[in-house]
Amino acid sequence: MIKTAGLNFAYSGEQSFDFPDIDLVPGEHLLILGPSGVGKTTLLHLLSGILPASSGKIFIDDVEITALDRKALDRFRGAQVGLIFQQYHFIKSLNVDENLQLRQRFPKKMKDNERRYRLAERLGLSKQLKKKVTQLSQGQQQRLAIAQGVIHQPKVVFADEPTSNLDNSNCDKVVQLLKDEAEISKSSLVIITHDQRVSQHFSNRITL
C-alpha cells in the first residue's frame, strides 16, 4: 500500500532528512515514532504529497505519487488519502454534517447519507450534526477530525500526533477508534507521533 525508496527532503539546502524505506502491505498499519526535530511531520507531508521529495520515490497503492504533476497529485490525495492533523481544519461557517458532506463529495462526488450517519453515530456525533463546529467540545472536534479523515474511505489514513494532548485512558480510546475506523474503511493507518504510549497498539513500527 505504501512503498518508499531513498526518500530525502532538504529545507532550503540547510536541514536535510534521510528517511528509512517503507514497505507497507494493503490493510497493514504502521506507527512511526521519534522525538521532536527528527522529521516526523515532514515525513507525513511527503507521504501524503503535501511536500515534494528532494529525492527518492513514494508509491501509494502502486501509484508513484512522486511522478505526478501537482494537479494529478491533488486529485489522487483528495480521493485516496485521509489526513488527520494536529490542528483541525474545519469550515467554521458550516455545521458538522455540512463539513462531512464537503469532504465526502470531494473529489469522489459521493453522496452516501447512510455512510455519513453511521460514521457520526459510531463516533458519538449523531446529536451534533446540525451544530456549528465552534459549538463542539475539544473531544468532539477531535472525533470530527477523525470522521473527516476516513469518511471518503481512502486507501491510507495519516494521523499526526493524535494522542499528544490526551490522558492515558483517552489515548487508548482514540488509537482504538482510529484502528476500528480504518478497518471498516479497509484503509491502512499510519500514525506519526512521539507518544511512546501508542507503541503497545502496533506491532509494526519504525523509529526515526
Domain residue extents for the chain? 2-207
Pick from 20-29, 110-119, 148-157: least confident: 110-119
Dist. CA 20–CA 38, nearest whole Å:
12
Percentage of residues of the chain with pLDDT beyond 70:
98
Mean pLDDT, residues 144-162: 91
Mean pLDDT, residues 38-60: 94
> Sorting pLDDT into bands at 50, 70 and 90, what band is 130?
very high
Across all residues in the chain, what is the average pLDDT? 91
Percentage of residues of the chain with pLDDT beyond 90:
66
Report the pLDDT value the prediction gives residue 169, as an integer from 0 to 100.
Answer: 86
The dihedral of CA 137, 138, 139, 140: what is its sign?
positive
Mean pLDDT, residues 51-72: 95
Report the pLDDT value the prediction gives residue 107, as an integer from 0 to 100.
Answer: 64
Does position 2 have pLDDT exceeding 70, yes or no?
yes
Looking at domain 2-207, what is its CATH homologous superfamily? Answer: P-loop containing nucleotide triphosphate hydrolases (3.40.50.300)
> Sorting pLDDT into bands at 50, 70 and 90, what band is 108?
low
Report the pLDDT value the prediction gives residue 142, as an integer from 0 to 100.
Answer: 87
Does position 133 have pLDDT exceeding 80, yes or no?
yes
**The dihedral formed by the CA atoms of 80, 48, 159 and 136, expressed in degrees to the nearest 10:** -70
Does position 18 have pLDDT exceeding 90, yes or no?
yes
> Sorting pLDDT into bands at 50, 70 and 90, what band is 123?
confident
Does position 35 have pLDDT exceeding 80, yes or no?
yes
Report the pLDDT value the prediction gives residue 8, as an integer from 0 to 100.
Answer: 95
Does position 27 have pLDDT exceeding 90, yes or no?
no
Quick check: 33 and 199 in contact, CB under 8 A?
yes
> Sorting pLDDT into bands at 50, 70 and 90, what band is 109?
low
Q: How far is CA 68 from CA 12, 32, 65, 87, in A?
A: 22, 25, 5, 27
- First-to-last alpha carbon distance for the chain, in angstroms, is 20
Residue 53 identity: A
Report the pLDDT value the prediction gives residue 167, as an integer from 0 to 100.
Answer: 86
Global confidence as pTM: 0.89
